[in-house]
Amino acid sequence: MKITYSIIAPIYNEIDNLPELYRRVKEVMDASNETWELILVDDGSTDGSTEKIRELAQQDKTIRPVIFARNFGHMVAITAGWDYARGDAVVIIDADLQDPPEVILELAKKWKEGYEVVYAVRSEREGETWFKKVTASLFYRIIYKITDVKIPVDTGDFRLMDRKVVNVLKQMKERHRFPRGMSAWVGFKQIGVTYKRAARTAGVTKYPFNKMLRLALNAITSFSYFPLQVATFFGFLSAGVAIFAIPIVAILRIAGSHFFEGQTTTLISVLFLGGVQLISLGILGEYIGRLYDEAKGRPLYIVREAPEDTDN
Ligand code: UDP
Ligand code: MG
């Protein structure tokens, strides 16, 4: 059977959201009068979501479960969704219903007008802490400024992509992934549709601060050399200061001034330079660690159970 829409939802401990997610997606997609499938990627849930997914898939064959062997992370779960999707258009949606399924039809409308990537831009966010809002807003703006690809601001993973785009993305096997950036990087005809991001229907966020930080680091290192350039900049800056400072201090000393004498001056400059050097090493380490991960070439994810009707 030819499938028009593949809806991908990554699931990590979302047991209380699953029935409602299924209900709303079904309602919306049935109204589209086109064929669709719902790919539920279980990212190593431990709260019984896995069993719930199996149960739903038993009842309705439009649900295709992909069950991971452990938690591989949201971005990897999305990738598995791309790999198993069979539709002409592929939609990524959060399982907590913060992205209202009804918006899928608006995305689809733009797709029918000929756009190949239709991303959903958050005009408002409900039910999130000010900390999340501020850090998210900063994150999108910093990424926009320092990356070479123009990644739309205030835009999450909620988007529709044409089959052509997904086929290209499937060839991009990078490990530390930032799907939003990847889908901007590929080009094609892109457009945004604004929507109001709702509050979570149940459960708590699966993105604590350390995961947000990791996502931000992956986004930056995947799409920019900016941190490395900052290290170079500080290198030149301190070398430049030294070139001017050395003759000035020498002349002052010859002239009999005692202004720059003492351990404090030495200590401060040693600590400053030591700090800059260690930070630069750390930045280098971030890139080298990622290179090492790529070199190992391990599979991106391990599937315990794939949908039965799959040819992957
Ligand atoms: N998620 C996942 N693996 C993880 C963390 C999150 O598959 O390791 C899923 C989660 O179940 C949800 C989506 O990613 O469907 C977005 O996560 P969440 O709602 O917790 O993030 P937030 O909206 O708070 O940024
Ligand atoms: Mg959420």
pLDDT at residue 295, as a whole number: 94
pLDDT at residue 310, as a whole number: 63
- In this structure, what are the phi and psi dihedrals at residue 31, rounded to the nearest 5 degrees? -65, -20
pLDDT at residue 135, as a whole number: 85
Buried-state track 161-173, b at ≥16 Cβ within 10 A, e below 16: bbeebbebbeeee
Domain ranges in the chain are 5-208+298-305, 226-296
Best CA proximity match to 67, nearest among 304, 310, 311: 304
Q: Which fold has domain 5-208+298-305?
A: Spore Coat Polysaccharide Biosynthesis Protein SpsA; Chain A (3.90.550)
Q: Hey, whose CA ends up nearest to atom 23 of ligand 1?
A: 205
- How many angstroms is it from 99 CA to the middle of ligand 2? 8
- How many angstroms is it from 244 CA to the middle of ligand 1? 52
* Max CA pair span of the chain: 91
CB 88 within 8 A of CB 163: yes
For 126, the token pair is: 């409900």
Q: Distance (Å, rounded) from C-alpha 121 to C-alpha 196? A: 8
Q: Distance (Å, rounded) from C-alpha 285 to C-alpha 105? A: 44
Please give the chain's pLDDT, 312 residues, in tens: 789 999 999 999 999 999 999 999 999 999 988 999 999 999 999 999 999 999 999 999 899 999 999 999 999 999 999 999 999 999 999 999 999 999 999 999 999 999 999 999 988 877 778 888 888 888 888 888 888 888 888 888 999 999 999 999 999 989 999 999 999 999 999 999 999 888 888 888 888 888 888 888 898 999 988 998 888 888 888 888 888 888 888 888 888 887 777 777 788 888 888 888 898 899 999 999 999 999 998 999 999 988 877 654
Q: Hey, whose CA ends up nearest to atom 22 of ligand 1?
A: 205
The pTM of this model reads: 0.83
* Ligand nearest the Cα atom of residue 17: 1
How, if at all, do strands 89-92 and 63-68 pair?
A: unpaired
Q: Distance (Å, rounded) from C-alpha 215 to C-alpha 217? A: 5
Ligand 1 atom with minimal separation from the 95 CA: 15
Residue with tokens 């062997």: 69
- In this structure, what are the phi and psi dihedrals at residue 210, rounded to the nearest 5 degrees? -65, -35
Buried-state track 246-283, b at ≥16 Cβ within 10 A, e below 16: eeebeeeeeeeeeeeeeeeeeeeeeeeeeeeeeebeeb
Query: CB under 6 Å to ligand 1: residues?
Result: 10-12, 14, 43, 71, 73-74, 77, 94-96, 98, 205-207
CB 183 within 8 A of CB 106: no
Residue whose CB lies within 8 A of the most ligand 1 atoms, among 74, 135, 211, for a mutation test: 74
Ligand 1 atom with minimal separation from the 212 CA: 25
Q: Compute CA distances 170 → 94, 257, 299, whole Å.
A: 20, 68, 13
pLDDT at residue 312, as a whole number: 46
The secondary structure element, H or E, covering residue 107 is helix 103-112
Q: Hey, whose CA ends up nearest to atom 25 of ligand 1?
A: 207
